[in-house]
Amino acid sequence: MAAQVVVVAVTKLQTTQAITQNLTMVKRVLVALGLILSLVFVGGTKAAVLPIERADVLYHSYEGDGVTIDGPSVLLRKNIAGKVSVSANYYVDTVSGASIDVRATASPYEEVRKEKTVGLDYLNNKTLLSTSFTNSSENDFEANSLYVGVSQDFFGDLSTISLSYSKGWDVVGRRGDESFEEEADRQKFGLGFSQVATKSLIVGFNIEHISDEGYLNNPYRAVRFLDPTTDRGFSFVTEKYPNTRSSTAYSINANYYLPYRAAIYGDARIYNDTWGIKAQNVKLGYIHPVEDDWIFEVFLRHYKQDKADFYQDLFSRPNEFNFMARDKEMSTYTGLTAGISVSYEWQFSQTATFKKSAVHFEWDYMKFDYNDFRDATAQTPVGEEPLFGFSANVLRIFASIWY
C-alpha cells in the first residue's frame, strides 16, 4: 500500500511539473487542486449516492426570429449494483425557417441535427466519477466531445468539490461546397464548489475556462460593408474570426428552502473572453409545490453582453480589419427570459417496479434587444436601419417515469 502510494505521488509530481510548464494560470490552479484531491482521497471512507434512475421523453420547441427548431429528446438512466449508473440521450433538432442572418443574405433552409450521448457514472466511497461521450451530426457539421468529471463530498457531506474536463472535436463543412472542410478543437476546464450553509440553504460557485482553436466562425455568416455600387448600398463577405478563443466564466448560486415547503433560488455569472466579449447574467426563481402532486415554478433571467472587439454591424471595406464579425451573438445586447412551469406527479409505491411518474409543461419567453445590430432587410439608407430585436417562445413538454 505504501509503495503504491509513493509511486502514485512521484508520477503526480512529474505530471505536475510537465503540466505547469504548459498551462496558463487558471488551468494550473485547477490541475493542482485536482491532483491534491485525488491524493487526499485515496483512502476514502463511506459513500454518497448515484443519480436517480429514470426515463424521460421530451418534446422541445424554439420559435422566434422566423425560425422554428423542434424535436424530441429521450433520456434513460439505469443504476447497476449501486456503484455504476449508465445513461443515454437521443436528441434531435429539426430546423426550419430563416433567421435574420439568413433572411439578409440567403434563402430559407431545412436541416436536421441529431445528437447522441452515452454516459457512465461510477461511485466509490464519497467520490463520483462521471464520463460521457457526445456525437452531434448534421449534414454540414460534425462534433464529438468527451467529458470527464469528478465530484467529491466531504466535511460530513456538507461540502462538495467538483472538477471537470471536456475535449471537443468539430468538423465544419459548407453546403454546396464539397471541398470545404475545416476543423475546430475545444477544451473545457471546470471547478465547482458547493456548501450546505444551513439546514435550508445551499450555496455554490463555479469557474469554467474554455479554449477553442481552429475554424471558429460559421461558414454561412457574412459581414456587410459599404458598397455604393449596389442598390442596397452594402455587400457581404464571409466573416473572418481569429483561430483561437479563450474564455473564463465565474458563477455563484444559492438554493433556499422556505419553511412552508417551497424553494427560492438564484444564480449570477460573469464572463469574459479573448475576443473582447464581456457578459453578465443573473437569474432568480421560485418553486412552489402544492400537496404532493403539483409543482409550480417561475423564474426571471437577465443577460447583458458587450460586443466582441472585431464585431461591427457595418464595415467600410471588405478587408477593413484582419478579423470581422457581424454575428448578432457577438454584438452588444440584452436578453430577458421569463419562464413558468407546471408538473403533476403520480406516486405509485416505493416497493413497485415503477415508483412514480410525472408530466411537465415548461414555457419560457425570451426577448432580445440589440444595441449595435441592425435589421439589414429594412428599406432605409444604409447604416440607419432600425436596431434589431426579437422574441422567442421555448417549450419543454415531457413525461418522466422513475423505477
Contacts to another protein from residues 221-240, by CB under 8 A: none
CB 402 within 8 A of CB 362: no
Q: Using the minimum distance from each CB to another protein, give the nearer residue, 236 or 370.
A: 370
Can residue 171 be called a binding residue for another protein (CB under 8 A)? no
Separation between Cα atoms, residue 54 and residue 76, nearest integer Å: 6
Separation between Cα atoms, residue 341 and residue 296, nearest integer Å: 6
DSSP 8-state secondary structure symbol assigned to residue 329: G
Can residue 262 be called a binding residue for another protein (CB under 8 A)? yes
DSSP H helices, 85-144, are 100-105
- Residue reference for cell 488551468: 27
Q: Using the minimum distance from each CB to another protein, give the nearer residue, 230 or 347.
A: 347
When binding is defined by CB under 8 A, the residue of 156, 176, 228, 381 that contacts another protein is 156
Pairing of strands 109-124, 177-198: unpaired
Q: Which three cell numbers stand for residue 270?
A: 460573469
Q: Using the minimum distance from each CB to another protein, give the nearer residue, 9 or 298.
A: 9
Can residue 162 be called a binding residue for another protein (CB under 8 A)? yes
SS3 content of the chain, % helix, strand, coil (to 5): 10, 60, 25
Closest CA to 266 of 250, 289, 286: 286
Separation between Cα atoms, residue 283 and residue 380, nearest integer Å: 37
x-marked contacts with another protein along 111-130 as a string, rule CB under 8 A = --------------------
Minimum CB distance to another protein, residue 102 (Å): 15
Can residue 67 be called a binding residue for another protein (CB under 8 A)? no
When binding is defined by CB under 8 A, the residue of 84, 249, 382, 401 that contacts another protein is 249
Minimum CB distance to another protein, residue 55 (Å): 9
Cross-strand partners of 149? 130, 164
CB 151 within 8 A of CB 183: no
When binding is defined by CB under 8 A, the residue of 96, 102, 114, 154 that contacts another protein is 154
Separation between Cα atoms, residue 350 and residue 165, nearest integer Å: 36
Can residue 142 be called a binding residue for another protein (CB under 8 A)? no
- Residue reference for cell 417515469: 401
Q: Using the minimum distance from each CB to another protein, give the nearer residue, 91 or 388.
A: 91
Minimum CB distance to another protein, residue 179 (Å): 27
Can residue 298 be called a binding residue for another protein (CB under 8 A)? no
x-marked contacts with another protein along 319-358 as a string, rule CB under 8 A = ----------xx----x-x-----------xxx-------
When binding is defined by CB under 8 A, the residue of 116, 240, 269, 302 that contacts another protein is 269
Separation between Cα atoms, residue 319 and residue 299, nearest integer Å: 44
Q: Using the minimum distance from each CB to another protein, give the nearer residue, 102 or 226.
A: 102
Can residue 253 be called a binding residue for another protein (CB under 8 A)? yes
When binding is defined by CB under 8 A, the residue of 66, 266, 289, 389 that contacts another protein is 289
Can residue 13 be called a binding residue for another protein (CB under 8 A)? yes
> 130-169 burial by CB neighbour count: b if 16+ within 10 A, else e?
bebebebeeebbbbebebebbbbbbeeeeebbbbbbbebe
Q: Using the minimum distance from each CB to another protein, give the nearer residue, 148 or 230.
A: 148
When binding is defined by CB under 8 A, the residue of 18, 42, 146, 378 that contacts another protein is 42
Site for another protein, residues 47 to 66, rule: CB under 8 A: 47-49, 51-52, 56, 58, 60, 62
